[in-house]
Amino acid sequence: MAVKFFGQFLLEKNIITREDLLETLEFQKSKNMDFGECALEKGYITDKDLANLKSAQKQVDMKFGEVAIKLNIMTPEQVEDVLTMQKNNHIFFGEALVEKGIITSDILESELSLFKQDQSKYITGNIIIPAGIKNPDAVKSIVDITQKMFQRIARLQVKVDDGFVTDSEPLMSFLLASISLHGSLKYEYALSLSREMSAMIASAIIGESIDDSATEMIKDGVKEFCNIVCGNIISKLSISGIEMDLSPPQEAVSSGNVYNLLRGRKAIYYPLVSFKGDSAALILIEG
């Protein structure tokens, strides 16, 4: 049992194929305009405003419309109007499948009901802290910021599965990048990522597409991503009076196809699942 998106749920049940999933996601993307596109279409903002808002949003923990109001680019009424437009025009993944003729309305209704049942315990933004963890609020902030940075920097929507504690080394992946956080609290922060997710993150960091063969460049981009995430974590924690520092990011070493990250210590694992079903993990080692 894991966090899934509806498409992934249907894929696992062989109701749709991977091609159906990707095609429908593209179709859905072409139909669903984001807030900025809607505001542009309504004539409330210019291209320059949009660029400014995107930059400003990366700096603060606020929604696009809230930032636009704060910067006096849009009025609250205009934001409301755009939100209504977005809501009225929005097409859900299931609806897109029906519109493309991949499934029928009857199948959508029954599968959606089963999906909701399956996912009832996962609520976006509801981060579960395993029992017995010290400083649960700090852990929650770390996971929350990681999730938000995936969205803000890499434009990757990830869902966070339940955290669990283990002393097993992570499974081998394309990249296991880690950063040591130390000070009032001490953690080793690590992200385990596939090549595809790593390439997406690195491309987002640099603002241009990175060639798939440029392995070192991709790894450098992911390490910088971890650095930015952890920098933002210690910034947020410092507001609560928790002073921490961080070390430069590193790629975890392995021997005989086994990582040497935990070295017998216990870690909290948070599986992360991307919109397309790629999986990754946030690993937090205390002490």
Q: Does 99 bind other proteins (CB under 8 A)?
A: no
Whole-angstrom Cα distance, residue 78 to residue 36? Answer: 12
Q: Select from 63-71, 137-145, 203-211, 268-276 the region that touches other proteins (CB under 8 A).
A: 203-211
Which amino acid does the sequence have at 183? G
Pick the closer one to other proteins by CB: 202 or 283. Answer: 202
Stretch that binds other proteins, among 65-73, 85-93, 215-223, 268-276 (CB under 8 A): 215-223
The answer to whether the beta carbons of residues 185 and 235 sit under 8 Å apart is: no
Please give the Cα distance from 99 to 91 (Å, whole number): 10
- Shortest distance (Å) from residue 235 CB to other proteins: 3
Owner of token pair 């999933």: 21
Q: Which stretch binds other proteins (CB under 8 A): 94-102, 112-120, 133-141, 198-206?
A: 198-206
Residue 164 makes CB contacts below 8 A (sequence gap 6+) with 130, 268, 269
179 touches 260 (CB < 8 A): no
Range in contact with other proteins (rule: CB under 8 A) among 55-63, 71-79, 80-88, 91-99? 55-63
What are the C-alpha distances in Å from 238 to residues 53, 194, 262?
26, 31, 26
For the residues of 111-122, what is the DSSP string, one character each?
HHHHHHHHTTT-
Pick the binder of other proteins from 247, 251, 258, 260 (CB under 8 A).
Answer: 247
Please name the residue ranges forming H helices in 164-279: 195-206, 215-239
For residues 192 and 252, what is the distance between their CA atoms, to the nearest angstrom?
10
Q: Which residue bears the tokens 């080394």? A: 169
Give whichever of 168 and 235 is closer to other proteins, judged by the CB atom: 235
Q: Is 217 in the site for other proteins (CB under 8 A)?
A: yes
168 binds other proteins (CB under 8 A): no
Q: Is 52 in the site for other proteins (CB under 8 A)?
A: yes
* Residue selected from 228, 254, 266, 275 as contacting other proteins according to rule CB under 8 A: 228
- Residues contacting other proteins: total by CB under 8 A: 31
Q: Between residue 121 and residue 160, which ones bind other proteins under the rule CB under 8 A? A: 152-153
**For binding to other proteins (CB under 8 A), which residues are involved?**
52, 55-56, 58-59, 152-153, 202, 205-207, 217, 220-221, 223-224, 227-232, 234-236, 238, 243, 245-248
